[in-house]
Amino acid sequence: MTHEFDSTSDSIKTDIEAEPFALAVSPAVCPGDKPADPCIIVIIGASGDLATRKLAPALYKLYINDRLPDPFLIIGCGRTALNNESFRDRMKDALMSLSTVDVAPWQRFAGHLYYQTLHYDSLQSFKDLARTLKETDAGHAVGGNKIFYLATPPFLYKTISQMLVQAGLSGEGEEGSGWTRIVVEKPFGTDLQTAVELNQALLEGFREHQVYRIDHYLAKETVQNIVVFRFANAIFEPLWMRNYIDYVSITAAETLGVEHRAGYYEKSGVLRDMFQNHMMQLLAMTAMEPPSRFEADMVRDETGKVFRSLRPFPGENPWENLVLGQYCPGLIDDKKVSGYREEPGVNAQSFTPAFAMMKVFIDNWRWQGVPFYLTSGKRLAKKLTEIVIQFKEVPHSVFRHILGEHITANRLTLGIQPDEKITLTFQTKNPGARVCLRSVTMDFSYSRDYTGPMLDAYEKVILDCMNGDQMLFWRQDGVELCWSFLTPVLETCEFCSERAAHLHFYEAGTWGPPAAREFIKASQLKSR
Ligand code: BG6
């Protein structure tokens, strides 16, 4: 298969026929995704938002696409007193609120669902769970394999993990006990100290290979594709460095506001909510060195080196490299939306930032001096996650006597969402008698020419966890390194006396505060 540029549509065309003198390339072959080991998934917090909105749909979709192991069972646990039937009804309602559910597959799926009430502060309750697990396991020949998925508010992680350990539920490897894994969602702590404490609590009874710390951004197809794009193609990597790249811009813009999560968001703000995790992973995938093999620990060793090389923020004046903002009322999709301070549950004088732009540097040989602009915010003009690699201008213009010095530099854009794509902008000659340059864009859409099933992020993480693949999960050192970088910034922002002066307001539905645009313009002028 060859890929060639189609100049008429500015797109990449897939041509199955080999060129006459080139070797034909075989189409990609992917191994099947169905996990081999049977297992029980214990969802702790099964009546909550995460379980009903994300986990139930993901598990159901995996089930109807025949991607779950055989046998598999789901035991929902929570403080709410439910029985198997009422739990199944809740799950069904949750699925039906998202799409239609056919009766026959639902009934088969429902036969795998069970419920047990669990009081998080009662060891006896966890011992009861241990007994249920043992009986269920024996009754269905699961072989002792189990996943504890903590779908609870994060403040409960420590307690639940300790209870699981004390109830003898964290062990694995002894005869008949199979494997045991525990899944936790971000936020992993709220600063360096709390992250260290949480990790200590988890690692008191579980070993690192049993702990799956989810970052759903890592499970997005196009985020994984960054690594494939960089390391399965020979032509980009030699340019992927300070000699050719002017700057890198990573954006995760949302149109959503804080929704019903003010209780969490007021304490977290955009830096904890998006930067400590998703933005750092996007940065690491873009900047890391090639691992010698595509294996979980080798990839995580490389991302860890990026985190370790982050230049600490200027202590006294973080504002040189940071713009914070908060949205005011405005229009999203032509509908009026409230400002952050008017959202239910938000303090009317809140200083919590819902927007941040941060300039970071990676102090290593490859990236010395290249600014990485990280931007994320709520209630912006468009839902857009993308990585822009802005190349430098040509060192010398041979067209200067005709066109002047400036020639628009090349730009590569990796679109993560909503458009999953890769585009490359370059110069061509405008057809005609005179030499005139024209910027054109070569684009590749991720789903074009692909008709197979797509896994959403939660389906992917559940499968990976069942398969024991930790590639897309945070390792403890990465979590702590990112907090080490961000905690001083947070402390300065949160305790600084000019906090109010550094919070820039923006109208909802725009691209953030004007101060952010001025900041980026000024930084780019300075670097010229
Ligand atoms: C979550 C944040 O981790 O990511 C949310 O807590 C944010 O505040 C969400 O809205 C964005 O995820 P996505 O996949 O919609 O870009």
pLDDT digits (tens, 9 = 90+) for 349-368: 999 999 999 999 999 999 99
- Atom 9 of ligand 1, residue of closest alpha carbon: 274
| 249 has a pLDDT exceeding 70 | yes
Residue 69 clears pLDDT 50, i.e. is over it: yes
HEC states along 358-376? EEECECCCCCCCCCEEEEE
- How many A from CA of 273 to the centre of ligand 1? 8
Q: Which atom of ligand 1 is nearest to the CA of 268?
A: 6
- Give the residue, by CA position, lying nearest to ligand 1 atom 12: 217
* Residue from 50, 273, 277, 416 whose mutation best tests the ligand 1 pocket (most atoms within 8 A of CB): 273
Q: How confident is the model at residue 17 (pLDDT cuts 50, 70, 90)?
A: very low
Compute, in angstroms, the gap from residue 252 CA to the centroid of ligand 1: 9
Identify the band that residue 118 occupies on the pLDDT scale cut at 50, 70 and 90.
very high
Instruction: Report the chain's C-alpha Rg in angstroms.
Output: 25
78 C-alpha vs ligand 1 centroid, how far in Å?
A: 24
Q: Which atom of ligand 1 is nearest to the CA of 264?
A: 6
Give Cβ neighbours of residue 198 (< 8 Å, ≥ 6 apart): 157, 158, 188, 189
| Mean pLDDT lowest among 1-5, 172-176, 203-207, 235-239 | 1-5
- Give the bridge partners for 4, in sequence order: 13
> Is residue 397 scored above 70 in pLDDT?
yes
Percent of the chain scored above 70 by pLDDT?
A: 92
Is 278 an annotated catalytic residue? Answer: yes
Rounded to an integer, the average pLDDT of 436-456 is 85
Residue showing tokens 């907090």:
483
Do 386 and 415 contact (CB within 8 A), yes or no?
yes
492 pLDDT above the threshold of 90: no
| Mean pLDDT within 226-239 | 94
Q: Across residues 462-467, what is the average pLDDT?
A: 94
Give the distance (Å) from ligand 1 centre to CA of residue 311. 26
Is the CB of residue 273 below 6 angstroms from any atom belonging to ligand 1?
yes
The finding on whether 254 has its CB within 6 A of some atom of ligand 1 is yes
Distance from the alpha carbon of residue 315 to the mean position of ligand 1, in angstroms = 29
Res. 15 pLDDT band, cuts 50 70 90: very low
* Residues whose CB is less than 8 angstroms from the CB of residue 426 and which lie 6 or more positions away in sequence, other chains included: 410, 439, 440, 442
More confident residue, 22 or 205: 205
256 lines ligand 1 (CB under 6 A): yes
Provide the percentage of residues in the chain whose pLDDT is more than 90.
70
Residue ranges in 468-513 assigned as alpha helix (H): 476-495
pLDDT of residue 401: 80
Tell me how crowded residue 318 is: count the other CB atoms within 10 A of its CB. Answer: 19
pLDDT average, residue stretch 368-393? 97
The tens digit of pLDDT for each residue in 77-96 reads 999 999 999 999 999 998 98
| Pocket test residue of 278, 382, 416 for ligand 1, highest count of atoms within 8 A of CB | 278
How far is the C-alpha of 326 from the C-alpha of 503, rounded, in Å? 7
How far, in Å, from the CA of 160 to the mean position of ligand 1? 25
Q: Of the ranges 29-43, 118-132, 379-393, which one carries the lowest mean pLDDT score?
A: 29-43
Which atom from ligand 1 is nearest to the alpha carbon of 217?
14
Tokens 């060192």 locate to 395
Helices (H), 83-156: 84-96, 103-110, 123-140
Question: In ligand 1, which atom is closest to the CA atom of 186?
Answer: 3
Distance (angstroms) between ligand 1 centre and the Cα of 165 equals 31
User: Which residue's CA is minimally distant from atom 6 of ligand 1?
Assistant: 273
pLDDT reading at 20 higher than 60: no
**What's the confidence (pLDDT) of residue 13?**
40
pLDDT, greater one: 374 or 141: 374
Judged on CB neighbours under 10 Å (0-12, 13-18, 19+), 153 is middle
- 1 versus 329: the higher-pLDDT residue is 329
Q: What is the pLDDT of residue 28?
A: 54
Q: How much is the average pLDDT of 134-161? A: 92
Query: Token digits for 299?
Result: 């990839």
Q: Which of 112, 216, 278, 504 is catalytic?
A: 278
Predicted local distance difference test score (pLDDT) of residue 236 = 94
d(CA 455, CA 27): 20
Band of residue 21 on the pLDDT scale cut at 50, 70, 90:
low
Which residue among 190, 256, 279, 384 has the greatest number of ligand 1 atoms within 8 angstroms of its CB, and so is best to mutate? 256
Which is higher by pLDDT, 242 or 21? 242
Query: Is the pLDDT reported for residue 439 higher than 70?
Result: yes
Average pLDDT, the chain: 90
Cα 120 to Cα 75, 113, 186, 203, distances in angstroms: 15, 21, 19, 19
Pairing of the two strands 146-150 and 39-44: parallel
Average pLDDT (424-444) is 90
Contacts of 235 (CB under 8 A, 6+ apart): none
- What is the pLDDT averaged over residues 3-7? 38
Q: Residue of the nearest CA to atom 4 in ligand 1? A: 274
Query: What pLDDT, on a 0 to 100 scale, did the predictor assign at position 19?
Result: 57
Q: Report which protein residue has its CA nearest ligand 1's atom 15.
A: 254
Query: What is the Cα 30 distance to its own chain's centre?
Result: 23
Atom of ligand 1 nearest to the CA of 385: 16
Which residues, including other chains, have CB under 8 Å from residue 313's CB and lie 6 or more apart?
A: 321, 322, 485, 488, 489, 492
Report how far ligand 1's centroid is from the alpha carbon of 220 (Å): 12
Confidence of residue 453 (pLDDT cuts 50, 70, 90): confident
Mean pLDDT of the 370-397 span? 96
Per the model's pLDDT, the better-predicted residue between 320 and 175 turns out to be 320
pLDDT exceeds 70 at position 23: no
For residue 59, the Cα-to-chain-centroid distance in whole angstroms is: 19
Ligand 1 atom 13: residue of nearest CA: 217
Among 186, 215, 221, 254, residue to substitute to test ligand 1 (most atoms within 8 Å of Cβ): 254
Peptide bond before residue 418 is cis, with ω within 30 degrees of 0? yes
Q: Is the pLDDT of residue 429 over 60?
A: yes
Q: How confident is the model at residue 12 (pLDDT cuts 50, 70, 90)?
A: very low
Distance 34 CA to ligand 1 centre (A): 28
> pLDDT per residue over 177-190, tens digit each?
799 999 999 999 99
CA of 312 to the centre of ligand 1 (A): 26
Q: How confident is the model at residue 174 (pLDDT cuts 50, 70, 90)?
A: low
Which atom of ligand 1 is found nearest the CA of 457? 14
Query: What's the whole-model pTM score?
Result: 0.90
